[in-house]
Amino acid sequence: MFKFDRRLIFNFDLGLSIAILLVAAMGLTNLYSATYTPGGGIPALFMKQLYYYLFGFLMILVVVSFDYRVLISFNYPFYGAVVLLLVFALLFGDSIANTQRWIDLGVIRLQPSEPAKLAMVITMASYFSRKDTGQGFGFKELLIPMGLTVVPFLLILKQPDLGTALMMLVIFGSMALFVKIRWRTLVTLGVVGFSLIPIAWHYVLKPYQKNRVLTLFDPSIDPQGTGYHIAQSKIAVGSGLMFGKGFLRGTQAHLDFLPENHTDFAFSVWAEEWGFFGCLFFLACYCLMLLSALRIAAGARDKFGMLLAYGIVALLFWQAFINLAMIMGLLPVVGMPLPLFSYGGSSLLTNLIALGILINIGMRRFQSGN
């Protein structure tokens, strides 16, 4: 007879759940404002994102219903499926704005590079938890995870999507450093990495991607393109002052000065309408979410759970950091969404499933690990 362990309910992380709900509410509020037109009724993108959220919360309930350790057995099939989806997107996917990133599934246009991030976290957590050397990883032990990283990196770079491709490297780097790399290996990887920068600049990056890097230092190089994006974003953020212009009153977004105001530059809309204190409240909620996730990682019952939780924290943190630095003109514009805040079904569902895995790890921390 099936017996439900009530300790699972008692170990449900309330702080993390509240933080997720608060960030979700702010994201939906901001999306409504960013896409609102007077007399146009409820924006269609707002309703789509709301449905994605409802489905995502349902997926969290599904994810927490099974033991997260089953992911060790399914990590390579999941990784392989994602790689096949990336290949399919390149060959047969929808082409939008000269990029080949999406697969039209009818109810949703899937962007395989988003679940690829989560697949990387699960795969790295599985590998590093099973191959622990006790003395740090050397170059030989890192060959397999580096190979597993390069495959999706190259496929996503081909789309082209430089920001998401670099996230593959960031995930690998964050998790490899966490499990400890031998100093000699770390120095070797650092030297190789820096030596590849000029090669990537001359032979890999496309002209518009180089432009994005150059306009970071001098927006006047491309005043009607990337430089315009950065300039308008800074104006939106700065014009919010201490308390903001108020809900639905942001001029940069509603007068169409701010491009991509519901995706990459969604937080610029929030900063303009809610000001410094509104941004501070949002960042406090986001930090609560990440700190709760780190607490789950520290209290995980086994090494796989700890690495998996840490990898998810790294995934959420670096995406948020890159997006916020981008809208303030501190990093090049690379098309990085702000998790749980920017519009996008694939990104939102991937991040909610990742948070569901985090909740799962926290709920089962009292159980013995094998």
In this structure, is residue 368 part of a structural domain? no
In this structure, is residue 370 part of a structural domain? no
> What is the CA 170 to chain-centroid distance, rounded?
11
**Mean pLDDT value of segment 220-225:** 71
Q: Can you say whether the dihedral through the CA atoms of 332, 273, 340, 84 is positive or negative?
A: negative
In this structure, is residue 34 part of a structural domain? yes
pTM, to two decimals: 0.92
In this structure, is residue 181 part of a structural domain? yes
In this structure, is residue 299 part of a structural domain? yes
Amino acid at 162: L
Cα–Cα distance for residue pair 260/265, rounded to 1 Å: 6
Partners of 99 in beta bridges: 96
pLDDT band at 258 (very low <50, low <70, confident <90, very high): confident
Cα–Cα distance for residue pair 82/32, rounded to 1 Å: 32
Pick the range with the lowest mean pLDDT from 92-101, 142-151, 262-271, 354-363. 92-101
**Mean pLDDT value of segment 301-321:** 95
Does residue 12 surpass a pLDDT of 80?
no
Does residue 295 surpass a pLDDT of 60?
yes
The CA R_g of the chain, rounded to the nearest whole Å, is 21
Of 226, 332, 286, 254, residue with least CA distance to 30: 254
In this structure, is residue 312 part of a structural domain? yes
**Looking at the chain, how many residues does it have?**
370
What are the φ and ψ backbone dihedral angles of 96, each rounded to 5 degrees? Answer: -130, 125
Does residue 62 surpass a pLDDT of 70?
yes
Backbone region of residue 242 per phi and psi (left: phi > 0; alpha: psi in -120 to 50; beta: other values) = alpha
Q: Can you say whether the dihedral through the CA atoms of 274, 277, 283, 284 is positive or negative?
A: negative
Q: What is the pLDDT of residue 133?
A: 67
Provide the percentage of residues in the chain whose pLDDT is more than 70: 95
Cα–Cα distance for residue pair 341/269, rounded to 1 Å: 11
Query: In what helix (H) or strand (E) does residue 335 lie, and over which residues does it extend?
Result: none
**Mean pLDDT value of segment 111-130:** 95
Q: What is the pLDDT of residue 13?
A: 81
pLDDT band at 3 (very low <50, low <70, confident <90, very high): very low
pLDDT band at 208 (very low <50, low <70, confident <90, very high): confident
Q: What is the pLDDT of residue 366?
A: 74
Which of the listed ranges 13-17, 105-109, 132-136, 293-297 does the model predict with the highest average pLDDT? 293-297
Pick the range with the lowest mean pLDDT from 96-110, 126-140, 141-155. 96-110
Number of domains in the chain: 1
Q: Which domain holds residue 20?
A: 7-363
CB 188, CB 140: distance < 8 Å: no
**Mean pLDDT value of segment 242-269:** 88
